[in-house]
Amino acid sequence: MAECKSSSRASSQHECSASKEAKLSKHDSHGALDLAGLSPAVRAKLMEFDKDGNGALDAEEIEAIVNSLAKEKFRGRYVQFGFLALFLTVIALLGCTAGIMWAVILAAKDTKVVNGVLINRKTGTPVQVLGHDITTGANGLLTQRRGGAAITTGSQFTELKLSSSMSREQLASLTRVRFKSSTGAEVGLRVTGFAVKASSDNSPPVLHLSTPTGMVVVRGEELAPGSAHTALVDAEESGTTWPEMIGIFAA
């Protein structure tokens, strides 16, 4: 009877122990991640976190993976912020360098432009160029910079009374002629050429002037009838004379 009770107790204890082990095994397999069904590359990476080497990841090991990923994410953000701060620092340094260089160059310049005039920064007086050959004297006249003598000027053209007796050199510089009649009419013509014909007697030579409107004939200091200038003012009527004949010569 005693042996039967003892055997019954031992059997009950063995069943209780087996039930606890089954519950623990079921609990462990329920909270772990088996790595056998994953690809070799992923399994090899996750094996780094399998501390006990049982081919499965429990809750503690999965938590370690999550913490590692979180640290990597925060580290990536810190790197981005670092690069951004470095970029802004470089831009600021470049801007400061350019500003300093411009300030140094501006401070080193002795002149500045005011209202289109180059003046001295310190004195405020206009800058004079010593390379010029002329300058303005105290009396307001143009003078030579070295000698100090006044510079004379002349007109580009010279007006002379026209005559067929002028020399060939003078007639070669004749550019225009101007006539004025006794009735007040005035004519101006551009000279494109000339020809001088000597007379057989002692009379003055005959000067032929070529103009865009025709030929003008001058004998001595008088105009020959029928010249081109008369047609411009209808001055063929009798009694009309041309007392004023001016030649404009290039200087």
pTM of the model as a whole = 0.40
Predicted confidence at residue 249, as pLDDT, reads 94
pLDDT digits 0-9 by tens, 101-134? 888 887 777 888 888 888 888 888 887 666 567 7
* DSSP structure string for 1-64: -HHHHHHHHHHHHHHHHHHHHHHHHHHHHHSSEESTTS-HHHHHHHGGG-SS-SSEE-HHHHHH
Q: Tell me the mean pLDDT in the region 57-68.
A: 76
Other beta carbons less than 10 A from residue 191's beta carbon: 18
Rounded to 5°, the CA angle 8-13-16 comes to 125
Higher per-residue confidence, 31 vs 59: 59
CA distances from 127 to 69, 119, 123, 181, 231 (A): 73, 5, 10, 56, 59
**Residue 209: pLDDT band with limits 50, 70, 90:** very high
pLDDT above 90 as % of the chain: 22
Q: Tell me the mean pLDDT in the region 91-100.
A: 91
Higher per-residue confidence, 55 vs 82: 82
CA distances from 144 to 44, 126, 156, 221 (A): 98, 20, 21, 43
Predicted confidence at residue 178, as pLDDT, reads 92
First to last CA, the chain: 163
CA atoms lying within 13 Å on the CB side of residue 124 = 0
Which residue matches tokens 């007086």? 125
pLDDT digits 0-9 by tens, 11-55? 444 444 444 443 334 334 445 677 776 777 777 777 777 777 777
Q: Give domain limits for the chain.
A: 157-250
Q: Tell me the mean pLDDT in the region 197-206.
A: 85
Predicted confidence at residue 202, as pLDDT, reads 81
The answer to whether residue 169 scores a pLDDT higher than 80 is yes
